[in-house]
Amino acid sequence: MANILVVEDEQDLLQVMSLKLRREGHSVFTAENGQDALMKVDEYVLDLVILDVMLPEMSGWEICTQIRQRSAVPIIMVTALTGDQDIVKGLDLGADEYVTKPFQLQTLIARVNALLRRLQWDRDVVEKEVDDLKRSITGMVSHELRTPLAAIMGTLDLALQEAFKDNQDAQRDFIHDARMNVLSMRQLVDDLLTMVRIDQGLELLRRPTLIHAEIKRVIDLYQDHFREHHLSANYTCAEELVANIDHFLFRQILQHLFFNAIKFSPEGGQIWVVAEPLPGGGVELDVHDQGCGIAPEFHEKIFERFYQIEMNDHRHHEGLGIGLFIARELARAHRGDITLISAPANGSIFSLSLPGETSDTSDET
């Protein structure tokens, strides 16, 4: 069943408790003092510690504090003191339960079993959450990858058909559509790889980066999207603005901020970008859109991994819900951040700040 450590200096009581717990099917380890108890906490994989308060040398309180510094194992304090203050003290120090002396063995066993059941329940909940997460990732990835793949196949089949052999315009349109789908798949694969890099710890490669050239590059990249939705994109940025940042990561941040602005812009909307230098070789960049805006209670949530922004009209937005998560993580890797100014019906401003090298030399190797 469970691995239980019993810490008790009264030999008789220790014997009785151990015997009873063993009869319940548990594996029991014993300790008669703090030093021995801490050694066993380090040595064994324990599910529970039953800890007496009144012990020689090191008190149960002290042992409880020290166990908490090294392990999250549940602790039941056994105290002869019935004052509420002692109970509160024990819970403050990280104990999960308490039993007051003198106690019926049955009471102790009932507490032990209740605590173990609750732990198992907690574990089941965590496992279920992990399973749900895995399932939804698998579902999203397969949907996001298979849908464009099917579209590409269909488009290429049409382009190959005899009927379009001599119609170059139609052929060009179909191939253009196929290319757009390939690009969105490539973006998805890149995002997933970036997410893995974020989890493994990003390394920055700072170098002087010409900001206006990067903005222009991203606007060019999304030309087709702008045209399709009749959007216009403009920027204000000094030609000579150079920031000492990781330009590859900066480009990814920009892409996600732009893509987000495109996704939520109304037909014919405007997106504009304002970039300014930060002291010490950094850059601050605001992306404004005329989208539906975001209520304050979602300002943090939208940066969560896999968060899907739900709109009033229940429109389905493509993507995994990792773009803003990635953008913020990449900003934070620069010791910067992305903040949001937005209110429903008023559009949004995503404000990116990337400090330069001077405040952050430790990233350089």
Residues making contact with Ca ion (CB under 5 A):
9, 52, 54
Burial class (CB in 10 A: 0-12, 13-18, 19+), 327: buried
Our CB check for Ca ion shows the closer of 30 and 265 to be 30
CB of 326 to Ca ion, least distance (A): 55
CB of 10 to Ca ion, least distance (A): 5
Our CB check for Ca ion shows the closer of 52 and 191 to be 52
CB of 357 to Ca ion, least distance (A): 59
**In contact, 91 and 65? CB cutoff 8 Å:** no
Our CB check for Ca ion shows the closer of 86 and 173 to be 86
Residue 116 structure tokens: 């173990």
CB of 32 to Ca ion, least distance (A): 9
Our CB check for Ca ion shows the closer of 54 and 192 to be 54
CB of 359 to Ca ion, least distance (A): 55
Our CB check for Ca ion shows the closer of 101 and 197 to be 101
CB of 78 to Ca ion, least distance (A): 8
Could you tell me the CA-to-CA distances from 232 to 5, 266, 291 in Å, in that order?
A: 68, 11, 13
Our CB check for Ca ion shows the closer of 32 and 363 to be 32
Our CB check for Ca ion shows the closer of 9 and 173 to be 9
CB of 100 to Ca ion, least distance (A): 13
CB of 105 to Ca ion, least distance (A): 16
Residue 290 structure tokens: 């005329």
Q: Which residues contact 61 (CB under 8 A, 6 or more apart)?
A: 53, 89, 90, 93
**In contact, 7 and 61? CB cutoff 8 Å:** no
Measured distance CA(133)–CA(265) in Å, rounded: 30
Our CB check for Ca ion shows the closer of 78 and 333 to be 78
Measured distance CA(293)–CA(297) in Å, rounded: 12
CB of 59 to Ca ion, least distance (A): 10
Query: Which residue of the chain is nearest Ca ion when measured via CB?
Result: 54
Our CB check for Ca ion shows the closer of 52 and 286 to be 52
**In contact, 278 and 242? CB cutoff 8 Å:** no
